Amino acid sequence: MKVLKIILSMVFLYCTAVYAQPSDLRVTLGTIATGYSVRMEVNGQYIADIQGDQSEMVQLFHVNYPHEEKLPPDLQYANCLREGRNTIKIKYDLIDASKANLSLRFYMNSVAYAVPIFEFVQKEKKSGEIEASFEVFKKMPAGYNTIMLTAKEISPANRSSR
């Protein structure tokens, strides 16, 4: 199953390179989340390839990206961005404190931006939730500064099931 997922990811990246245009909206969403389970949604779309307990990255594209019809159903989530305002929801649960040796980190980069679009870094080993909005454009706006996301801590008694 892992080999199939790797092959599909390679096809996906190839399609990205073939169809990518300078006018396309394209970002990389990444995590460093060893010791955490993670659930992410961008504009209400569940990002299935980010599960946590490792370092992960996925490419996200604008709705109606040229390769959309060629994507397998389990990768359709990637076409979720809108130019301008977007939303992100992240829920992360500490599942193994002994493995959580690196800072928990979430970030979004774009080839069109000289700095990350947003970033979240947490050194404390705890669970939490993030709900935020961010804007993304085909070209980095003048004077753009990275958005530093903040989280709401979740106590073990208040965690909802996934």
> What pTM did the predictor assign?
0.79
The domain locations on the chain are 2-158
pLDDT at 42: 95
pLDDT at 101: 79
pLDDT at 152: 84
Look at residue 55 and give its three-state secondary structure: strand
Residue 7 pLDDT exceeds 80:
no
pLDDT in tens, 102-159: 789 999 999 889 999 999 999 888 999 999 999 999 899 999 999 999 888 766 545 5
Residue 20 pLDDT exceeds 80:
no
Q: How far is CA 127 from CA 34, 99, 120, 151, in A?
A: 13, 14, 13, 9
Residue 2 pLDDT exceeds 70:
no
Give me the helices (H) in the chain, please.
Answer: 2-19
DSSP code string of 5-41: HHHHHHHHHHHHHHH--TTS-EEEEEEE-TTEEEEEE
Contact 107, 119 (CB under 8 A): yes
pLDDT at 17: 46
Residue 128, Cβ density class (10 Å: 0-12 exposed, 13-18 middle, ≥19 buried) = buried
pLDDT in tens, 61-111: 878 766 656 667 777 778 889 999 999 999 999 999 888 877 899 999 998
Tokens of 59: 């490419």
Q: Which residues pair with 91 in a beta bridge?
A: 39, 129
Mean pLDDT for the stretch of residues 38-59: 92
Look at residue 76 and give its three-state secondary structure: helix
